[in-house]
Amino acid sequence: MDSKGSILIIDDNPVHLELYRMILEQAGFKGVPLLVSYGGMHFPGAESVDAVLVDYRLGPYMTAINAVQQVRERFPTVPILILSDLYDPPSDTAPYVQAFVRKGNPEDLLTALRQVLETPPPES
């Protein structure tokens, strides 16, 4: 089966990374996990990605705003989705992200991902 796109998944919990990778791969995407740890974020090689999922609560090592700023530096036009258990989108990441998805419903995640991938990037 051909991949629908490569999705970078950023989280501080390896179990969550594996869960999201499985959800994405069952839907035909390639999930690329990036574990945030005391050493920060280390992007995978020269790999290009089509979208990025960022957990809003990244533990004591990094904030979501730091993560999305680093993603923007590395991938300036790639859509970013924030995953959170919050009820409302966090305002600090709003300027950087294209979608906010509440955790707990994989179908909502996949719908939001498909929508941002179908939307052309803004012209600079």
> pLDDT tens digits, residue range 65-117?
999 999 999 999 999 999 998 888 888 888 889 999 998 899 999 999 999 99
Number of domain units in the chain: 1
Q: Which domain holds residue 104?
A: 6-118
CB 62 within 8 A of CB 79: no
Secondary structure element (H or E) that encloses residue 111, with its range: helix 106-118
Could you tell me if residue 24 is inside a domain?
A: yes
Residue type, 3: S
Q: Is residue 124 a part of any domain in this protein? A: no
Residue 15 covered by a domain: yes
Domain annotation covers residue 123? no
The reply to whether 1 falls in a domain is no
Asked if residue 82 is part of any domain, the answer here is yes
Predicted TM-score (pTM) of this structure: 0.89
Could you identify the residue written with the tokens 């906010």? 100
- DSSP structure class, residue 121: P
Distance CA 122, CA 117 (A): 12
